[in-house]
Amino acid sequence: MTAKTLFSFFIIVLLNLANTFAQQSDLPVPELVSEYSVAKNNCEYAMALTDDLIRRLSDNPNTQGYAVIYGDPLGASVSRRREKELLNYLSIRGFDRSRITIAKGPVRSSAVVQLWMVPPGASDPEILPANAEFQPEKPITDAYIWAIDSADGLPECRQAFDLKEFAAILNADITLRANIVVRVPTAAEYRKKEREMIGVLVSEGVSRSRLRSSFVKVRRNQMLDYTELWLVPAKSR
């Protein structure tokens, strides 16, 4: 091979490499739309960002949504709660669940939920490596509201109102009991709702002795009626 031929060969190789790199640079890439903290009390903010992602996906029907939920060092339940909140809100909004992929990221010291847009032909978003470990989760020591069933039908920034899941928590920890607070206009409405809910919980295996309920009278047509499910640990009884 002469020097001139060798030079021409190298020119062709370089041109091919340049063309390859140019084609690769034209490939679509995922776009990070927004992110929010996993641990902070920012549910309303998270719903607003999710609404923005839904709007963008509706405007781009060929684009896939992608949510990365990183683990929080405070414990595995923190990121699980975020995933349930996201799934519940997508259901409330009636958005096609198949349009958004949910991926679980490793534990990071600054754990966030990332919301991405992935256009056709783009690879999935890169998931950052772990840089922390879970701390032991603290046991429940204070009574707290686990879920609310609101009369106005608006989504609450709490756990979805699911009696079967509530029963599963009670069955998994026999030191907990349930307190059901029913806020309705009349005692008759209270008794009806009480029978329905306790019937579900007992049918799921929860002992009746661990279930308490109370009636709070509210004015009709004031949107003040709702039901609270409380988890009460032994220390708070």
β-bridge pairing 144-150 and 112-118: unpaired
Contacts of 110 (CB under 8 A, 6+ apart): 37
Pairing mode, if any, of strands 144-150 and 31-37? unpaired
Domains observed in the chain: 31-118 (3.30.1330.60), 144-236 (3.30.1330.60)
The first and second tokens of residue 93, run together, are 């909004």
Is residue 79 helix, strand or coil?
A: helix
Token duo for residue 117: 């847009």
Tens digit of pLDDT at every position of the chain (237 positions)? 565 555 455 555 555 655 554 445 578 999 999 999 998 878 889 999 999 999 999 999 999 999 999 999 988 888 988 998 898 889 888 999 999 999 999 999 999 999 999 999 999 999 999 999 988 877 778 898 888 887 655 556 666 688 998 999 899 899 999 999 999 999 999 999 999 999 999 999 999 999 999 999 999 887 778 899 999 997 655
Residue-level pLDDT at 57 = 97
Q: How far is CA 171 from CA 175, 206, 234, in A?
A: 9, 6, 14
Residue type, 48: A
Whole-angstrom distance, CA of residue 227 vs CA of residue 230: 10
pLDDT at position 22 is 44
pLDDT at 52: 97
DSSP-based helix, strand, coil % in the chain, nearest 5: 40, 25, 35
End-to-end CA distance of the chain: 92
